[in-house]
Amino acid sequence: MRRVRNGRNYMTKSNFTRRGLLKTSAGAGAGLALPTVFTGAVWAEKHTGFTNAPQGDTVTLGFNVPQSGPYADEGADELRAFRLAVEHLNGEGDGGMLNTFSSKALEGNGILGKKVDFVTGDTQTKSDAARASAKSMIEKDGAIMISGGSSSGVAVAVQGLCQEAGVIFMAGLTHSNDTTGKDKKANGFRHFFNAYMSAAALAPVLEKLYGADRNAYHLTADYTWGWTQEESIAAATEALGWNTVEKVRTPLAATDFSSYIAPVLNSGADVLVLNHYGGNMVNSLTNAVQFGLRSKQANGKQFEIVVPLYSELMARGAGQNIAGIPGSQNWDWKLENQMGDRYTGTNAFVQSFGTKYGFPPSQAAHTCYAQTLLYADAVTRAGSFNPCAVVEALEGFEFDGLGNGPTLYRADDHQCFKDVVVVRGKENPENEFDLVEIVEVTPAEQVTYPADHEMFAGGSLGECNPGA
């Protein structure tokens, strides 16, 4: 049984036995008295026996982001956020969201009194390269936690590696249902939302904008994120009455989508759904506009384009082509100003980030910053860097003040549940950082699904692995 009081986890003996952390009377250590509730003090006694247990006065975190490839812009912003988070954890700067976080365990003195250091790697938006980079950070640099990434294929690969190595993986920007579905792992946690949530939030808005009688043509990035995004948005729109005309997969490495756009013109579709992200989305949207889709009439209706997931960074790359295009976001830098103090923490983060870098942060930056704080907080509340202690501290953890409103880290799948932001490209933006307008914010309750939902079927968390 798991109990949550005042945003903190209280772990029972049964949880620890389940994860192989304690011996029962039938095994080694029989006859020893075991406490029924474990505290940070008990965990703190276990300084060794897990991968890369920090022995000196520093602790090393590994930030693995795309510094090259189609998602490099997102990766650059993630690195900015990671650097800022480390500064705040070490007591530098203005403290950012440490000041608004509902948990008050962090004091700006590192993590458990150890100064935070970090190393970085380039995922190249390739699973093999990402695994190699993470492996090097763990084995050569002593990283005790890995975070980052802007591709779900990368996230799934690195999450699996971290499970094997016995370190915590705090996923960066990963939106595939599979990350916390069939490929979920006990050592992995996702703060970012997923494809199902995007579709659940976006579909009602699409019905209001375009009606229930529509014919959709999907162009989809050919990897785990694209597949589950396509599945989710198709299911949600078909439930409204939309018809799916065609689903076409496109290579992640593609830069020119002209040959994929041309068939849309005579397909009978009146909506193009671009299940693309990063540079792929910028290029495919640009090609669609060049082919005249936005000025086309089809089936007696104005032809429309939908991008289920996009960011301010992508909007900047797309320029005026993003105007009027609906989509969804995990977070937006204007959220607290426009939607109120439910989203406390947003302004604190924007202020810190803007002061350091001269422009507002992206949703990729936000989720990576939040994940770093959440990891540090879990270690502090647990009183130990032991990965299994961190897992116990994060499972079922309810928190606020990190910009998304009240949020739950669900124990069943290690997925965060929070409000989802539905956006649209601004018709008349005031500046290059104000290209997206918030249409509405969908409450977490409307995007929450049972852990055994069919889109997340298969796989299991398994047991926490402390490694060495």
DSSP string, 288-313: HHHTTGGG-EETTEE-EEE-SB--HH
Question: pLDDT digits over 339-395, tens only?
Answer: 999 999 999 999 999 999 999 999 999 999 999 999 999 999 999 999 999 999 999
Q: How many CB atoms lie within 10 A of CB 8?
A: 16
What pLDDT shows up at residue 142?
A: 97
In a domain, 284, yes or no: yes
pLDDT above 90 for 9: no
Question: pLDDT digits over 277-306, tens only?
Answer: 988 999 999 999 999 999 999 999 999 999
What pLDDT shows up at residue 415?
A: 98
Residues 62 and 178 in one domain: yes
Split at pLDDT 50, 70, 90, the class of 83 is: very high
Exposure class string for 200-239: b at 16+ Cβ within 10 A, else e: bbbbebbbeebeeebbbbbbbbebbbbbbbbbbbbbbbee
Residues 206 and 178 in one domain: no
Stretch among 39-48, 88-97, 390-399 having the lowest mean pLDDT: 39-48
Q: Provide the token pair at 179.
A: 């990350």
Radius of gyration in angstroms for the set of CA atoms belonging to the chain, rounded to a whole number:
22
Residues 96 and 204 in one domain: no
What pLDDT shows up at residue 69?
A: 85
In a domain, 176, yes or no: yes
Residues 220 and 340 in one domain: no
Percentage of the residues of the chain whose pLDDT score is greater than 90: 83
Q: What is the reported pTM?
A: 0.89
Domain count, the chain: 2
pLDDT above 70 for 38: no
pLDDT above 90 for 210: yes
Residues 389 and 296 in one domain: no
Split at pLDDT 50, 70, 90, the class of 46 is: low
What is the rounded CA–CA span in Å between residue 125 and residue 452? 30
Q: Provide the domain limits for residue 215.
A: 196-329
DSSP string, 114-130: BEEEEEEEE-TT-HHHH
In a domain, 19, yes or no: no
Do the Cβ atoms of 434 and 414 come closer than 8 Å? Answer: no
Residues 347 and 384 in one domain: yes
In a domain, 424, yes or no: no
In a domain, 408, yes or no: yes
Which of 307, 329, 351 marks a domain boundary? 329
Pairing of β 436-442 and β 3-5: unpaired
Mean pLDDT for the stretch of residues 141-150: 94
Residues 208 and 292 in one domain: yes
What pLDDT shows up at residue 41?
A: 39
The closest alpha carbon to 461, from 181, 223, 271, belongs to 181
pLDDT above 90 for 268: yes
Residues 96 and 114 in one domain: yes
What value does the mean pLDDT of the chain take?
90
In a domain, 244, yes or no: yes
Pairing of β 326-329 and β 420-425: antiparallel
Which of 329, 357, 379 marks a domain boundary? 329
Residues 392 and 381 in one domain: yes
Q: Provide the token pair at 447.
A: 């995007």
What pLDDT shows up at residue 181?
A: 97
What is the rounded CA–CA span in Å between residue 37 and residue 323? 55
Residues 339 and 325 in one domain: no
What is the rounded CA–CA span in Å between residue 175 and residue 181? 11
In a domain, 306, yes or no: yes
Question: pLDDT digits over 401-460, tens only?
Answer: 999 999 999 999 999 999 999 999 999 998 889 999 999 999 999 999 999 999 999 889
DSSP string, 168-226: EEEE-S---GGGGTTT--TTEEE-S--HHHHHHHHHHHHHHHH-S--EEEEEEESSHHH
Residues 178 and 63 in one domain: yes
- CATH of residue 226's domain is 3.40.50.2300
Residues 204 and 324 in one domain: yes
3-class state of residue 463 by DSSP: coil
Do the Cβ atoms of 401 and 101 come closer than 8 Å? Answer: yes
What pLDDT shows up at residue 18?
A: 36
DSSP state of 45: T
The closest alpha carbon to 43, from 14, 17, 23, 21, belongs to 21
Pairing of β 271-275 and β 304-306: parallel
Which of 303, 329, 355 marks a domain boundary? 329
pLDDT above 60 for 464: yes
Mean pLDDT for the stretch of residues 130-144: 96
Stretch among 18-32, 174-188, 352-366, 451-465 having the lowest mean pLDDT: 18-32
In a domain, 437, yes or no: no
pLDDT above 60 for 11: no
Mean pLDDT for the stretch of residues 176-187: 97
What pLDDT shows up at residue 47?
A: 61
What is the rounded CA–CA span in Å between residue 112 and residue 229? 39
